[in-house]
Structure 1
Amino acid sequence: MKITLIANDTTFIYNLRREVLAKLVEEGHQVTVLCQFLSHREALEQIGCRLYDIPIGRRSTNPLADLKLLCKFFQILRTIKPDVVLTNNIKPNVYAGIVCRVLGIKYIPNITGLGTPVENSGKLQFLATRLYKYGVAGADTIFFQNEENVRFFEQHHMMSKKSHLCLLPGSGVNLQAHPELPYSPGDVVHFLFVARLLLETM
């Protein structure tokens, strides 16, 4: 199969999706990645992926930039004609989802989080929820990574009734790349903080 994965950038994909890509390549699928090039580009190419550099502008709210992104997705997906597209992150889910729906390409969005424009009430939320609704409208299956996002989508009627929902237990951690280390008692206290910090701007 010709499989395309779309996400914000190579760093996200390398840290959280490289095992998936490696398995798909190992099974003989032709894998293409659309994202912004940051770090780990060469490592993804060594797996056997074909990469396209697309500036996503994940924090941008410029409608002209988003329209340009939409057109870029359309141009590339129409050219490579994948059998299925896997999308991650907000803008790929929305804009690549819209393009896949127009082109009749099967796609599976992964809702890894909602983001500030969707979560905070106001005019921007009104627009963002409707864009998201249109972006996932043609998806047969929608992956979610937490129950709160599922409830938000249901409460705001952002999913088609025909869509199948699949709640994933997170992205997981590669324990070979991040092995458990023995505890070394001493003057320094070591602790594990499992979370991420995001700067939200209004």
Structure 2
Amino acid sequence: MRVLLFANTDWFLFNFKLSLARALQAAGHEPVLVSPPGLFGPKLREMGLRWEPFELSRSGINPMIEASAIARLAKLYRRIAPDVVHHFTIKCVIYGSFAARRSRVPRTVNSVTGLGFALLADTFKARLIRPVVVALYRRALMGTHVVFQNHDNMATLRALGVLERSTVEVIPGDGIDTARFTPPIDRPPGQTVLMMGRLLSSKGVGDFVEAARLVHQQIPSAAFQMAGAPDPGNPESIDEATLAGWRAAGDVEFLGQRSDVLALQQECDVAVLASTQGEGMPRALLEAAACGKPMVATDVPGIRELVQDGVNGMLVPPGQPVALAEAIIALLRDPARALAMGRAARRAAVDEFADECIVARTLSAYGLAPRP
């Protein structure tokens, strides 16, 4: 069976879908990976995977160009002739579903990995385009199998009436390689606090910076690190002037986009995610959990399905840096409690979110394996 995986970047396919592609190969199926061209497409080919480039603008809204993209995608689907297509991210879900319908693909699976700016933000632009996005979702998802990463997102789209003619299920995240992301050996407790993610206002970067300032008033030796880069194509991207001011203040070390995420996760003591609008299933926290790190995060969709308050981390209200700082201080001052939470986080990563668990459920969604 030929299974086509379509995402808006080859980086996403390389970092999040290798385990799935390899599992398909191991089971005797043919995975075909499709994305706009980038640095990682050739790497996928070097690994023996079939990767097809497809030009797609992440932020384009010109009706003629976007309609042309759907037509080009349908042509690609007819050429590849997949038995199953699996789409990731909003634009790929909508355009891919229309293209799959035109080219008569037997089975379409759509992953809603988050609700995105249009459905979550409270800006004029978001409110303006929201009805359009909802209408497109309603048409695109009709007759497809929709996979959510958390129950909140599923409930939101169901309430909007876009799932009435779809089958749905929740598969929590993209999986994590728990053999690679492991707790460090013989590392003494320290005071390093790490947050990873794109530098967007909705990720709570400003709240993280303010929390760091507050923590330093009580624990001056604590080290705060932020790994990630701005996303110029996103209207919520942090501007350079604001970043320059934060860097000058010195409470947080901004590391930029990093490839050594394993080392960063293993070398931190507390993992933070301060998102204000919710997540699908936050990859950065999954990596931290697999590395045995206690988590401090906001009580929003996606996060609350991974972080169990008082068990493997601490949940705080979104948009409240004082509460964020207090939770971080509590863990930095109680290494034994932090260690116990880290161990619980590791158990959850292995038992519920490991690659093999997620891949098995995804293959079942394709109709290729019995439901686990």
Does TM, normalized by the shorter one, top 0.5?
Answer: yes
- Per-residue deviation at 1:63? 2.6
Letter in 1 for 2:193: F
Q: Name the CA distance, whole Å, in 2 between partners of 1:39 and 1:122.
A: 35
The answer to whether 1:38 aligns with 2:41 is: no
| Letter in structure 2 aligned against 1:81 | A
How far does residue 29 in structure 1 lie from its aligned partner after superposition?
A: 1.1
Count of residues in correspondence between the two structures: 199
Give 2:235's aligned residue.
201
CA 1:136–1:101: 2 relative to 1, 3 Å: same
| Residue 145 of structure 1, aligned match among 145, 149, 154 | 149
State the distance in 1 between where 2:78 and 2:56 align.
Answer: 18
Partners of 2:75 and 2:152 lie apart in 1 by 34
Stretches of structure 2 lacking an aligned partner (at least 5 in a row)? 202-233, 237-372
- Structure 1 CA distance for aligned equivalents of residues 159 and 199 of structure 2: 26
Q: How does 1:82-101 map to 2 (within 5 A)?
A: 82-101=82-101
Instruction: Return closer, same or farther for 1:69/1:177 CA change in 2, 3 Å cut-off.
Output: farther
Q: Secondary structure at the match of 1:178?
A: coil
The structure, 1 or 2, with the larger RCO (C-alpha pairs under 8 Å, 6+ apart) is 1
Question: CA deviation digits over 1:81-140, x for unaligned, max 9?
Answer: 11110111111100110111222211100110111123345231111111111111120x
> 1:183 deviation in Å?
5.9
Specify which of 183, 188, 191 is matched with residue 189 of structure 1. Answer: 191
Tell me if the contact between 2:3 and 2:83 (Cα under 8 Å) persists in the aligned partners. Answer: yes
Q: Is the aligned partner of 1:132 residue 2:137?
A: yes
Give the CA deviation at 1:69: 1.7
Following superposition, the deviation at residue 194 of structure 1 comes to: 6.5
Instruction: Name the one with the larger helix percent.
Output: 2
Offset, 1:54: 1.4
Is contact 1:101-1:138 (8 Å) kept?
no
**2:168 maps to which residue?**
165
TM-score by length of 1: 0.87
The whole-number CA distance in structure 2 between the counterparts of 1:7 and 1:165 is 20
Task: Report the counterpart of residue 81 of structure 2 in structure 1.
Answer: 81
SS of 1:131's equivalent in the other structure is helix
Q: Which runs of 5+ in 1 are unaligned?
A: none
Greater C-alpha Rg: 2
Alpha-carbon deviation of 1:168? 1.1
Q: Judge which range, 80-89 or 164-173, deviates more.
A: 164-173
**RMSD, aligned α-carbons:** 2.2
Q: Which amino acid aligns with 2:20?
A: V
Deviations 1:8-41, CA, capped at 9 Å, x for gaps:
1111111111100011012221221110122322
- Secondary structure of 1:12's counterpart equals helix
Q: Is residue 88–residue 112 contact of structure 1 (8 Å, CA) maintained in 2?
A: yes
Query: Is the CA contact (8 Å cut-off) linking 1:33 and 1:50 kept in structure 2?
Result: yes
**Structure 1 contact 6–86 (Cα < 8 Å) conserved:** yes
